[in-house]
């Protein structure tokens, strides 16, 4: 008896821990698998899921039955094929889920970092840039320039002195050639042969071409790190947001999406629309029998009648909820 109790407690503990881990919940999985191209709702996906397996079953069943003329054999083979198809589709779905999960979580992390960079003060930017290059192996930093747009240091990496500039630009504002030339002038004035320019946006095409020619002619080596490379550098140096922070953002995105659907639902079933639904119902019921398609108009009238009843019921519910909400808020204010 005690062993059975221990097993039950273990299973209950596993279930509770699974429910607490929202990153593996159905809501999160649906979010990771969603895409702009796939506009199907959850119900439509379930229907497609069932229909695909039904089609496979009957295709195999008909093919086997036509050849063998044996009903039981056709059913067994069709069931086996559907089972294999189901297992393979689950594995394929799992691989797709993992790939899309990594991609979306990385995108969310990059968006969070970008927003933080845009909102950092100059001092916060300086500390963040130093942290990035310190994690990458740079030492002995010497401050050169600081502003809301660019942070410049020189430091030591692999025994060589390197000049580093970080441009904090919005995505649409590229680092231009004149800014690159200012950086090169600072390199020459400091007698530094190697440099790194990192930006939260990108560089113009002239910058890439100029750097390519510069290495051949002036023997200066400059590494241009655009937004993607900067995020890659941040990720590899373990400066990405934590899993808890990303889960919080995902949860917020899902909640906001659900809130939008609730607003659509509330608008569709708004209290002020009950009068309009009722008038439309009367119009359809009165004029419907005299039209060429009475069944159609009577059916629509039944739908509008149902909407009338629902909106009236919701009016009573929301009125009570508003009263309860105000009473609860009033009680909390009294406790202050």
pLDDT per residue as tens digits for the range 114-159: 999 999 999 999 999 999 999 999 999 999 988 888 999 999 999 9
Give the residue from 254, 242, 268 showing the smallest Cα distance to 27: 254
Cα separation of 29 and 6, whole Å? Answer: 31
Those residues of the chain that have pLDDT short of 70 are: 1-23, 37, 39-42, 260-272, 314-336
Q: What is the pLDDT of residue 220?
A: 85
Q: What is the pLDDT of residue 171?
A: 82
Could you report the per-residue pLDDT of 1-16, keeping only the tens digit for each? 455 655 556 555 554 4
Q: What is the pLDDT of residue 18?
A: 45
Q: What is the pLDDT of residue 223?
A: 94
Distances (CA, A) of 291 to 274, 287, 288, 295, 309: 25, 7, 5, 9, 25
Distances (CA, A) of 310 to 266, 272, 275: 11, 12, 12
pTM over 0.75: no
Cα separation of 64 and 82, whole Å? Answer: 14
Q: What is the pLDDT of residue 19?
A: 46
**DSSP conformational letter for 241:** P
């Amino acid at each position: 008896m005690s062993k059975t109790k221990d097993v039950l407690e273990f299973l209950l503990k596993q279930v509770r821990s699974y429910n607490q881990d929202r990153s593996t919940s159905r809501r999160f999985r649906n979010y990771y698998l969603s895409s702009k191209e796939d506009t199907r709702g959850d119900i439509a996906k379930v229907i497609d899921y069932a229909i695909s397996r039904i089609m496979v079953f009957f295709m195999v069943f008909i093919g086997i039955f036509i050849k063998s003329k044996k009903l039981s054999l056709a059913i067994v083979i069709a069931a086996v094929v559907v089972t294999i198809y189901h297992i393979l589709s689950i594995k394929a779905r799992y691989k797709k889920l993992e790939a899309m999960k990594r991609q979306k979580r990385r995108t969310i992390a990059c968006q969070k970092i970008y927003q933080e960079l845009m909102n950092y003060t100059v001092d916060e930017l300086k500390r963040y840039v130093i942290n990035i290059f310190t994690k990458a192996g740079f030492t002995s930093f010497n401050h050169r320039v600081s502003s809301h747009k660019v942070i410049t240091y020189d430091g030591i990496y692999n025994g060589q002195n390197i000049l580093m500039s970080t441009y904090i630009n919005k995505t649409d504002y590229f680092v231009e050639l004149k800014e690159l030339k200012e950086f090169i002038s600072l390199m020459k004035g400091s007698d530094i042969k190697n440099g790194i320019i990192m930006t939260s946006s990108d560089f113009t095409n002239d910058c890439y071409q100029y750097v390519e020619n510069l290495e051949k002619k002036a023997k200066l080596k400059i590494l241009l790190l655009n937004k993607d490379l900067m995020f890659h550098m941040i990720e590899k140096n373990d400066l990405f947001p934590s899993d808890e922070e990303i889960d919080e953002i995902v949860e917020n995105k899902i909640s906001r999406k659900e809130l939008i659907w609730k607003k659509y639902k509330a608008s569709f079933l708004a209290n002020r629309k009950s009068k309009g639904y009722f008038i439309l119902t009367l119009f359809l019921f009165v004029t419907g029998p005299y039209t060429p398609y009475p069944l159609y108009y009577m059916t629509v009238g039944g739908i509008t009648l149902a909407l009338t009843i629902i909106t009236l019921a919701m009016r009573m519910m929301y009125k009570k909820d508003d009263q309860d909400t105000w009473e609860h808020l009033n009680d909390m204010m009294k406790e202050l």
